[in-house]
Structures are given as C-alpha cells and as structure tokens.
C-alpha cells in the first residue's frame, strides 16, 4: 500500500500556527480594548471627581464670603451707631460745662454698654457662622466620602 499522506509534516503545523496566532491576536486585541476602555472610564471618573470637588470648593467659598459680608455689614452698622451716639454726646457737651461732665459720663456708660452688647452679639454671630460653616464642611466631607466610596465600589465592579 502506498502512503497517501504527505511526507511534509509542516503542512498541518502551518495551519495550527496560524490559528494560534489568530487566537493570540484576538486575545491581545481584547485586552487592549479592555485596557483602553478602563483608562477612558477612569479618566471620566477623575474628571467627575474634579468637577465635584470644584463645586464643593466654590460653594464653601461662596458661603464663607457671605459670612464675611454679614460680619463686615454688622461692624459697619456698629461703627455708624457708635459715631452717631458720640456725635450726640459732643453736641450736648457744648451746651454747658457743668452738664458736660454728667452727659459725658452717661454717654461713656451708654457706649460701653453698647459695645459690650455689640461685642457679645458679634461673638454669638461669629460662633453661629463658625458652627454653620463647620456643619457645611462636615456635610461636604461626608458627601465627598460617600461619592468616593461609590466610585470605589463602581470601579471594583
């Protein structure tokens, strides 16, 4: 009997080598696609985080600016009120020398009381503003932590 099979053993091997190369290339392309998609998604996540942190920073800055404006307005009102009171006291002092000593003492007491009340009120307002800012910062920190946790969980999936 004659041997009908080719004596060239490379004929079958070339086909197998080609198939292995195609499978290897397909797997490599798939990993490249997965890597590219992952890099793109992580870039989107990073951009979203930067945007969120920027929003938080801007909101905190706006709130602190509002607090600063309120404090400046309050002190301006206090300064104007004190100036008015001192002007009234000066006008009364010019009326009579004897009455001037009594009026000056009364004005001094009124100003001291007014500044004491104002100082106490300003301290309360500043304390309230500090507490409110601390609460807002705490809320923002918790929101960022929650978002970060969500992002980490999403990336793990």
Each residue's pLDDT tens digit, 14-45 = 688 888 999 999 999 999 999 998 999 989 98
pLDDT at 89 over 80: no
Predicted pLDDT at 25 = 92
Per DSSP, helices labelled H in the chain are 10-93, 97-156
Task: Using alpha carbons, select from 38, 62, 58, 39 the residue that is nearest to residue 50.
Answer: 58
Gap between the Cα atoms of 149 and 45, Å rounded: 12
- Comparison of pLDDT for 104 and 41, the residue scoring more: 41
> What single DSSP character describes residue 96?
-
pTM as predicted: 0.34
């Amino acid at each position: 009997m004659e041997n009908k099979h080719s004596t060239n053993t490379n004929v079958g091997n070339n086909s197998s080598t080609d198939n292995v190369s195609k499978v290897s290339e397909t797997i490599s392309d798939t990993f490249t696609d997965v890597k590219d998609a992952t890099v793109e998604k992580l870039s989107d996540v990073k951009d979203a985080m930067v945007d969120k942190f920027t929003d938080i920073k801007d909101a905190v800055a706006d709130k602190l600016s509002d607090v600063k404006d309120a404090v400046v307005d309050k002190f301006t009102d206090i300064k104007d009120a004190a100036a008015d009171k001192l002007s009234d006291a000066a006008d009364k002092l010019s009326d009579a020398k004897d009455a001037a000593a009594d009026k000056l003492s009364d004005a001094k007491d009124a100003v001291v009381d007014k500044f004491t009340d104002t100082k106490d009120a300003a301290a309360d307002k500043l304390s309230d503003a500090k507490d409110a800012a601390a609460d807002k910062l705490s809320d923002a920190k918790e929101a960022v932590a929650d978002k970060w946790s969500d992002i980490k969980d999403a990336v793990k999936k």
